[in-house]
Structure 1
Amino acid sequence: MKQSIEPKIVIGSDEWCAFPSLNIPAIKARVDSGAKTSSLHAINIQPFSRNGEAWVSFEVHPIQDNRKVTVHCEAKVIDQRIIKSSSGDREKRLVIRVPLAMGEQLWDVEVTLTNRDSMGYRMLLGREAMHGRTLVDPAGHCLLGERLSDQLATLYRAPEIRTTGLKIGLLASNPNLYSNRRIIEAAESRGHEIQFFNIKNCYMKLDATRPEIHYRGGLVLNELDAVIPRIRPSMTFYACTLLRQFESLGIYCLNSSTAIAQSRDKLRALQLLLDNGLDIPTTGFANSPLDTGDLINMVGGAPLIIKLLEGTQGKGVVLAETRKAAESVINAFKSLNANILVQEFIKESSGKDLRCFVVDGKVVASIQRVAAPGEFRANIHQGGRAELIKITPEERRIAIKAAKAMDLKVAGVDLIRSNKGPLLLEVNSSPGLEGIETATNEDIASKMIIAIEKQLAGKKKAETSS
């Protein structure tokens, strides 16, 4: 007697599928027989217990490049696994088992939860999920049917969102940066009206009776409720001038002009941190020093770090491994008449540092940044990578205190672990979101918008009671 075999379905290199138990009616998957495990895009991953069993809640943006559509999901956790990505990075992920609908068939599959924002597809279908069920035609594309934009709009009817009517301006230089796109998406998803304003295209009228801020074409910006500044270093002076004008008009700025200006002055920032009892690596400052030897001795000798005061994103930072090398670099900077910082080198950090993202007095996410091979300092802009890490209560306290010392509502606080304990490296007033959101699956952009809502709600309450 022959055993009946269920016919296999033929699928292409990508296919639309669904997860009925997660209320996901359509999500496009990349079919990859080279990958063992399937993965699903998820953010705000929160494990919890239900009837003594491990469960997880998470959110899915099922449509690529669209964060306005959000599905809230819950599922039972069946495992935790270390998964190695195609880039070679290892990540610990939660595993769930849920029914997968593809074509006219339905079967249970195991999927890991991870942030796939930087990937081309919100889902990856691995060979374990396909085993005995499918045949893959690599040249095919959506062989089981396409989903058009109007069909997706019907399947994912826009959820009712709380509308508070806030008018928010995003003051930055590049609307296409991940951080800026995410902030716009987060504000819109919470029911606000948000517009991008290029700093270079803003100008102002100083007047005793009717001061104004204009945007290209004569648009007056005086009616904004709040401004989110995302300022590149080269625009600091002009942008802070603009922010002072917004502040004089009573428009709330998520980070104030004063806080941004002092955070961008590296020396002033370090002085403020020390004044607030926060430890930093021993640092020297000079303007083209004549006594190079004493400056080197001041920070404990070589090896040491030499920084241009105006450098950003790792540029203008040099490791001098010997005293001779340090003298050569410092003397080279003399010819530029440059302001420089020299700083002790924390060898035991092994090219790693911590980035703590602080919003409204709380650390909302943290990562460890690891230097690229051959580099001495962690910098994602120069080939480094981000890893999940649990910071200590002391590191959390220091990060919060550092943001408060700089008077920043939003800050990226960089720490380094040393034999003396955690040391502060820098406080960034316009921290990037991509690396930390991707690594932690946290929706940091929405937390920034919530901070504005809380501030303005408190302001309106105070005005009403007065």
Structure 2
Amino acid sequence: MPSKPITFILAALLLSPAIVMAKTQADQNSVPETLGFVEWVVLEETGLRLKARLDTGAKTSSLHAVNVEPFRKGEEEWVSFQLPLADHKDQDDANGAEVDEVILEFNLPVERTVKIKRKGASSQNRYVVNMEFCIAGTSHTTEFSLTDRSKFSYPALLGRRFMSDDNILIDSSDSFLAEKECEHKSLSELADKYVD
């Protein structure tokens, strides 16, 4: 009878260094990346680069969108929306391109809808879509709620869900800390591509 408990204890002792080593290796692989409170992001589908505020006060990320319209595609609920290039003239690479008339159009499946409480205003229902984007040289996918952000300083906002899923820390005292850049198209290239 005593041999079984001894065998069990011996097996546990032999396995524990491997468990500790695996945990240490996982901890080393998951060193969080520190980014500034504002960084460049690139929408992968189009190559559009825009500024995003990284906001620990928001749970869900948000993207500037106008003319948001739901529609059905088979049994699924989808949403169409537009992103005008004229709203993103903070880039210095427009080279005088006429971007005022260029509007990027998207059609994506709806992941869910959210009710957003707004300070000093009524609550707002928003459609949420999954989108691929690049930040700090790395591709990510996260949920974005769609809303008109033309009155805000930044067309995109990245929230806690993205930060926790992708192990991101924010330095709220600095901006543009990303060590790597994402490939993107200039506004003039986008204007050439989307203007007839």
The reply to whether residue 113 of structure 1 matches residue 146 of structure 2 is yes
CA contact (8 A) 1:24 1:71 kept: no
In the other structure, the counterpart of 1:79 is: 112
Query: More deviation in 81-90 or 111-120?
Result: 81-90
User: How far off is 1:129 after superposition?
Assistant: 1.3
Q: 1:7 aligns with which of 31, 53, 73?
A: 31
Work out the CA distance in 1 between the residues paired with 2:186 and 2:73: 33
In the other structure, the counterpart of 2:65 is 42
Tell me which protein shows more strand as a share of its residues. Answer: 2
Q: Deviations over 1:310-354 (max 9, x none)?
A: xxxxxxxxxxxxxxxxxxxxxxxxxxxxxxxxxxxxxxxxxxxxx
**Residue 58 of structure 1 pairs with residue 81 of structure 2:** yes
- For residues 88 and 180 of structure 2, what CA distance do their matches in structure 1 show? 15
Mapped to 2, the partners of 1:109 and 1:87 lie a distance apart of 28
State the shift of 1:145 in Å: 6.7
Q: Go from structure 1 to structure 2 and tell me whether the alpha carbon gap of 1:77 and 1:52 turns closer, same or farther (over 3 Å shift).
A: same
| CA separation of 1:137 and 1:118: change in aligned 2, threshold 3 A | same
2:159 is matched with which residue? 126
Runs of 5+ consecutive residues of structure 1 not aligned to the other structure: 162-466
- How many residues align? The count is 157
Distance 1:153-1:98 versus aligned 2 partners, 3 A rule: closer
> Aligned equivalents of 1:156 and 1:79: distance in 2?
30
Where 1:156 maps in the other structure, the secondary structure is helix
Contact in 1 for aligned 2:137/2:180 (Cα 8 Å): no
Post-superposition offset of 1:89: 3.3
Checking the alignment, whether the CA contact within 8 Å between 2:37 and 2:170 is kept in structure 1 is yes
Q: 1:156 to 1:86 in 2, by over 3 A?
A: farther
> Taking structure 1 as the reference length, what is the TM-score of the superposition?
0.31
Q: Secondary structure at the match of 2:162?
A: helix
* Cα displacement string for residues 51-84 of structure 1 (whole angstroms, at most 9, x for unaligned residues): 3111111101255357444211111101111112
Contact 1:41 1:61 in 2 (8 A): no
Distance 2:103 2:110 in 1: 21
Task: Report the Cα distance in structure 1 between the residues aligned to 2:107 and 2:131, rounded to whole angstroms.
Answer: 11
Quote the offset at 1:100 in angstroms.
2.5
Cα deviations by residue, 1:146-173 (Å, 9 ceiling, x for unpaired): 99xxx73345234324xxxxxxxxxxxx
- Where do residues 128-207 of structure 1 align in structure 2 (5 Å cutoff)? 128-131=161-164, 132-144=166-178, 152-158=186-192, 159-161=194-196
1:99 maps to 132
Task: State percent identity of aligned pairs.
Answer: 27
> In 2, distance between residues paired with 1:112 and 1:156?
24
Give the residue type in structure 2 aligned to 1:111.
F
Query: Which is greater in Rg?
Result: 1
Q: Equivalents in 1 of 2:113, 2:129: separation in Å?
A: 9
Distance 1:153 1:64, change over 3 A: closer
Q: In the aligned structure 1, how far is the partner of 2:101 from the partner of 2:120?
A: 28
Matches of 1:36 and 1:88, distance apart in 2: 19
C-alpha distance in 1, partners of 2:119/2:168? Answer: 23
Alpha-carbon distance, 1:143 to partner = 1.7
TM-score (norm 2): 0.70
1:30 maps to amino acid = R
Moved over 3 A (4+): 65-69, 86-89
What is the RMSD computed on CA atoms of the aligned residues?
2.4
Distance 1:45 1:105, change over 3 A: same
